Structure 1
Amino acid sequence: MTTAAKISVTLLDDDDFPTSFQVLSKSFGHDAPLIDIYFPNHDTPSGQARGSARLAAWKQGSEDSTFLKAVLKSGQDGQERIIGLAVWTYMKEPPPADIEKVENVEEVWPDVDDREYMARLWRDYVVPRTKSIEDSAGKGIFVLELLAIHPEYQRLGAGAALVKWGTKAADDKGVKAVVEGTPVARRLYEQCGLVAEIEEMRFDVGEKFVGRRKPNLIFLSREPKS
């Protein structure tokens, strides 16, 4: 049996969130500015507790989002380890441009400047997926909203398995699959059939935040296959 064959993709259980959020934090480290600002202090115990709670609330509050885990089964002791996390959302309506409509902003970002910066990023972040939804003639799109693989278990096939789950779901509905991906993950997405629509997403944060790190994201999409 190959290593890839030992990896399975299943639905994430509610009690998986603490472990899954740790995977998310380790996966991105501090190399992804959007993750750093969206999940404040995600590498600390308190930040991970808050992040886990937000993911759990998201799962409970969205019927259109599917939370997945990639599990690696050890051949020696038969133990299963969560090594990856993905969230796919079927969107038929454009997401709100105002982050206050989707997050408790004062609680998540008590610092006023952090709150304003996140709001500005979010406003630009949702533009490409909004256009894809508007261009879908009412069919909607499948959005890969989150993908994280534990750094010690990358290149084993978990990322591809999580991505392909969503592209198959998109094919089944006859809709486009999209993702706002990092350059590091671009090769994986392209191997799964997604192609770049926007080579570098635009984030206009204004002079006030010129010194802050901005996300470096590519908008990729995949047309459905019959």
Structure 2
Amino acid sequence: MRTRIPSRFPVPIIQFAERNDIPELVRVWLAAERTNLLMFYHFPTEESRSEYAEQAIKVLDENFDDPHLLLLKAVDPDTSRITAMAVWQKRGYGQPSAQSEDIFAGAGDSDQIPLERYIDTQFKRFLASWAQNSKHLYLALLMTDPNFQRRGIGTAMLEWGHKHADEAGIPAFLIASPVGHPLYQHVGWKDVDTPLQIDLSQWAAGAQGGDMGWGVYKYYYMLRMAKTAAMPE
């Protein structure tokens, strides 16, 4: 699938990823997360990030054949490089699979730290309140290689999901980071709940009583209605 973006950039090729793409998809993912403060909190060292990458590769490989998991890649037509990746999940279809859980919950951290448990609980609360067991599309992940950002590639990946949801007549949900939130708003997603605000200074070891650069991190709960769908029950 090709999506029109500004003419000064080549139009990305959006297609389903293959299993042997997984290591490169994870590389793009972690490269895009380099400046994410929450990611740094969870994985402050190169060693911990490498361990997380190994776990992420394992999770994607184990779930690769799940029909409810839509794993996409964006390919630059000039270089054939993978420039972005997205994970969409079809949920509420009544089958025990990756559709019912966030497949990345706790990846790289078998004994979840308290903050991770708290975030996971809040995410589940949101999805239980809004999605319930109704059919919907959930954007679990969207990441663009920093070397290819601001070229409309993320928008193209979103439009792929929009088309899929519109054809199925189902709503789509996502939980946005502070960085991704403006993009989702720009292409028509709406905030539907109070943002999850996390004061990292209350969680980071040794941060209380002194400014160590930690601040408030916000997650935004968002919904996009299909053009043919009614509000979810």
CA distance in 1, matches of 2:182, 2:197: 21
Of residues 63, 66, 72, the one that matches 2:67 is 63
Q: Which residue of 2 aligns with 1:124?
A: 122
Shift, 1:11, TM fit: 0.3
CA distance in 2, matches of 1:163, 1:104: 22
SS at match of 1:53: helix
**Bigger mean CA deviation after superposition, 47-56 or 186-195:** 47-56
| 1:73-222 aligned within 5 A | 73-74=77-78, 79-92=79-92, 95=100, 108-109=108-109, 112=111, 114-134=112-132, 139-201=134-196, 210-212=202-204, 215-222=217-224
**Bigger mean CA deviation after superposition, 18-27 or 177-186:** 177-186
SS at match of 1:161: helix
Q: TM-score, normalised by structure 2?
A: 0.75
Aligned residues: 208
RMSD over aligned Cα atoms: 3.3
Q: Which residue of 1 aligns with 2:211?
A: none
Structure 1: runs of 5+ lacking an equivalent: none
Q: Percent identity, please.
A: 18
Shift, 1:80, TM fit: 0.1
Structure 2: runs of 5+ lacking an equivalent: 1-5, 205-213, 229-233
Of residues 50, 63, 71, the one that matches 2:55 is 50
CA distance in 2, matches of 1:8, 1:81: 10
CA distance in 2, matches of 1:109, 1:47: 8
Structure 2 residue 2 is the aligned partner of structure 1 residue 8: no
Shift, 1:36, TM fit: 6.0
Answer 1 or 2: which has greater helix percent.
Answer: 1
CA distance in 2, matches of 1:218, 1:49: 28
Cα-to-partner distance string for 1:189-224 (whole Å, 9 max, x where unaligned): 12221111135125699xxx9323775211111111
Of residues 17, 30, 50, the one that matches 2:22 is 17
For residue 219 of structure 1, what is the amino acid of its counterpart? Y
